[in-house]
Amino acid sequence: MGEKEIDARGLPCPQPVIMTRKVLDEQPEGPIIVLVDDAAQAENVAAMARNQRWDTRIFGEGSEYLTLSLSRDPRFSTAENEPEATEACGVPTRVVVQVSSDKFGGGSDELGDILMRSFLKTVEEIIPRPGAMVFINGGVKLTSEGSVVIDDLRRLNDLGVDIINCGTCLDYFSLKDKLLVGRISNMYEIATLLVNADRVVKP
Residue 14 sits in the same domain as residue 72: yes
Number of structural domains found in the chain: 2
Among 50, 79, 108, the domain boundary falls at 79
Residue 74 sits in the same domain as residue 154: no
Among 26, 61, 79, the domain boundary falls at 79
Q: Which CATH number do you get for residue 105?
A: 3.40.1260.10
Closest of 47, 43, 4, 44 to residue 24, by C-alpha = 4
Residue 30 sits in the same domain as residue 93: no
Residue 124 sits in the same domain as residue 193: yes
Residue 108 sits in the same domain as residue 60: no
pLDDT per residue as tens digits for the range 75-119: 554 444 343 433 433 334 588 999 999 999 888 989 999 999 999
Residue 46 sits in the same domain as residue 93: no
What residues does 162 pair with on adjacent strands?
A: 132
Among 49, 79, 109, the domain boundary falls at 79
Closest of 13, 37, 33, 38 to residue 23, by C-alpha = 33
Residue 96 sits in the same domain as residue 43: no
Residue 191 sits in the same domain as residue 126: yes
What b/e readout covers 82-93, taking b as 16+ CB neighbours within 10 angstroms?
eeeeeeeeeebb
Which residue range is the domain that position 197 belongs to?
Answer: 87-201
Per-residue pLDDT of the chain (203 residues; tens, 9 = 90+): 567 899 999 888 778 888 888 888 887 777 889 999 888 888 888 888 887 778 888 887 655 667 878 787 555 544 443 434 334 333 345 889 999 999 998 889 899 999 999 999 888 888 778 989 999 999 999 999 999 999 999 999 988 899 999 999 999 999 999 999 999 999 988 998 899 888 899 98
Amino acid at site 184: I
Residue 107 sits in the same domain as residue 197: yes
Rounded-to-integer distance, Cα 134 and Cα 148, Å: 18
Residue 107 sits in the same domain as residue 54: no
Residue 193 sits in the same domain as residue 161: yes
* Alpha helix stretches (DSSP H) within the chain: 15-26, 39-51, 109-125, 150-158, 167-172, 187-196
Residue 107 sits in the same domain as residue 44: no
Q: Which CATH number do you get for residue 36?
A: 3.30.110.40
